[in-house]
Structure 1
Amino acid sequence: MSIELAQLRKQLRKQRRQVSVYQQQQSEQQILQRLRSVPKFKQAKHVGIYLHAFGEIQTHKIIEYCFHQKKSVYLPMICNMNQRLVWVKISRNQFQNKRFSHHPFGMQEPMATRGQHVSHLDLLLMPLLACDLYGTRIGMGGGFYDKTLASTPYHRPFRLGLAHHFQLVPQRLIREKWDQPLDGLLTPQQHLRFKR
């Protein structure tokens, strides 16, 4: 990893941690408003999403809205054998009662023994640290999303990043051969589409 990338990661992690509770709630509400009019979201029956844990865009209202719209909701679970993500369908009851296990990395995971391959999803709402104007995404550094998406058919699922406005960076990020680009990005201020 280059010094510039390491610095960018450090700076954005810090910025993300400093977002106030009020601002987090505002950002989630604004993103949900935008998401409701995204055609790929309206059409999606199977939606993969994350449980926020590190200052990412919060997802509780988005998950509740998915249930309200009768969409199937899936959360990621790390498969220890190959360090890829599998997607576990959760119920509204399970979500509201917070029936999750705590992963050593600090996030919550659904309690399950098996999950679906990512290609089962119609839409994947993804967390990120940074994204540029070409859809290049920088995650937390574990490579879980990149490894998982490398094994999917080209156009499935539709990959939509969720980000605070400061996570959309003006400089072009270096895209390594294993990096999996986004199809779109939602921030509280805008909706961007990318050519993959």
Structure 2
Amino acid sequence: MSEKQGLRRSLLQTRRQLSEGDWRDRSDRLCEQIRQLSLFQSAQTVLSYVSFRREPDVLPLVTGERHWGFPRCVGESLEWHSWQWGDDWLPGAFGILEPHPDSPQIAPETVDLILVPALACDKRGYRLGYGGGFYDRLLSQPQWREIPTLGIVFEFAYLPQLPVEPWDCPLTGVCTEARWVKTQP
């Protein structure tokens, strides 16, 4: 576990050192990469996240063309709720903005794509998160397993190989501001 902890510290430090302009520019270029993906273009319902600790900001992708969902941390699980511009955000358990708990929930069978935040992703599709296991628990459930998942990281956090635990779930692909890589068939 100490190798993962060291990577987390290093990557968080690198993200913290991005200037506001550099972070915005990288986020905008990453959004443009996502917009070009047929996987995204054909998706009607997309699950995403609100940027935290200088994660890539993908909120510019949110338009009325698609149905959007964002997570709420409830105990050890993620619950997905509809969100659109004009809806309220509330600070969640970790200080991350979340949709209002009364907003409609999204059922897994309606989801076409999940944009997954990460500290890092590797060429095999494994991700390094913050250590809470929320996404691995979610993606290991049968109803979520077949939904395409796209790890969202800046190019400096796309690594050749990450340490992997038996419970880690690989993602379908990884997108950075420079490229998109399909990692799973």
What is the alpha-carbon distance in structure 2 between the residues aligned to residue 193 and residue 42 of structure 1? 16
Q: Which runs of 5+ in 1 are unaligned?
A: none
What CA distance in whole angstroms lies between the structure 2 residues aligned with 1:57 and 1:74?
A: 17
CA distance in 1, matches of 2:45, 2:144: 17
Match of 2:95 among 106, 109, 115: 106
User: Which residue matches 1:90?
Assistant: 83
TM score, norm. by length of structure 1: 0.87
Q: Distance in 2 between matches of 1:193 and 1:165?
A: 15
Partners of 1:148 and 1:12 lie apart in 2 by 24
Q: Give me the whole-angstrom Cα distance separating, in 2, the residues matched to 1:118 and 1:54.
A: 27
Task: For residue 187 of structure 1, report the CA deviation from its aligned partner.
Answer: 0.6
Secondary structure at 1:93's aligned position in 2? coil
Whole-angstrom distance in 1 between the partners of 2:126 and 2:93: 28
Runs of 4+ in 1 over 2 A off after TM superposition: 113-120, 152-156
- Residue in 2 that maps onto 1:47: 46
Gaps of 5+ in 2: none
CA deviation string 1:31-76 (max 9, x = no partner): 121111211101100000001121100122122xx32xx1001000
Distance apart, 1:5 and its partner CA? 1.7
- Count residues in correspondence: 184
What is the alpha-carbon distance in structure 2 between the residues aligned to residue 180 and residue 24 of structure 1? 28
Residues 19-168 of structure 1 mapped to structure 2, 5 A cutoff: 19-63=18-62, 66-67=63-64, 70-80=65-75, 83-94=76-87, 99-113=88-102, 115-153=105-143, 156-168=146-158
Structure 2-normalised TM-score? Answer: 0.92
Distance in 1 between residues matched to 2:124 and 2:11, nearest whole Å: 19
Q: In the alignment, what sits opposite 1:174?
A: 163
Partner of 1:192: 181
